[in-house]
Amino acid sequence: MERSLVLIKPDAMERELAGAIIGRLQGAGLKLIGLKMLHLDDALAGKHYAIHKEKPFFKDLVEYITSTPIVAAAFEGDDAIARIRKLMGATDPSKADAGTIRKDYGLDIQRNATHASDSPENGLIEIANFFKKDELF
């Protein structure tokens, strides 16, 4: 069993797509084990995206992800990391396969509708950044 954090990002929130995206993951058999809406502050945004701190787009990324409330979800399932990443498609929506969430809903490489964890280890770390133990079911 693996776990992944999923974020519904500001561009998707502004277009009321949270339910559609969560529904696609649930419809594919991933189990929803945690769900909340929150407005990230700079500290949590910086912690979540720490790996990108030296990237030229980091400042813009933090401004963007803190610009509106977002939805954070925790999903669980066999091979959940790879399955969710496949359902989401490439980071850049213009390069994502047809039928993926980012192809259907992403706007550009930053405003790409969703975030998902990239490894089982990061799944656990990222979920712990957003959820207390008693918020997971």
Q: Which residues bind ligand CMP (CB under 6 A)?
A: 52, 57, 61, 91, 109-110, 112, 115
Q: Select 66 or 112, whichever has its Cβ closest to ligand CMP.
A: 112
Q: Which of 134, 132, 127 is nearest to 80 (CA)?
A: 127
Residue at shortest CB range from ligand CMP? 115
Query: How does 34-65 read in b/e, with b if 16+ C-beta sit within 10 Å?
Result: bbeeeebeeebbbebbeeeeeeeebeebbebb
Question: What's the distance, CA 16 to chain centroid?
Answer: 15
* Shortest distance, position 78 Cβ to ligand CMP, whole Å: 22
| Closest approach of ligand CMP to the CB of residue 34, in Å | 18
CB of 134 to ligand CMP, least distance (A): 26
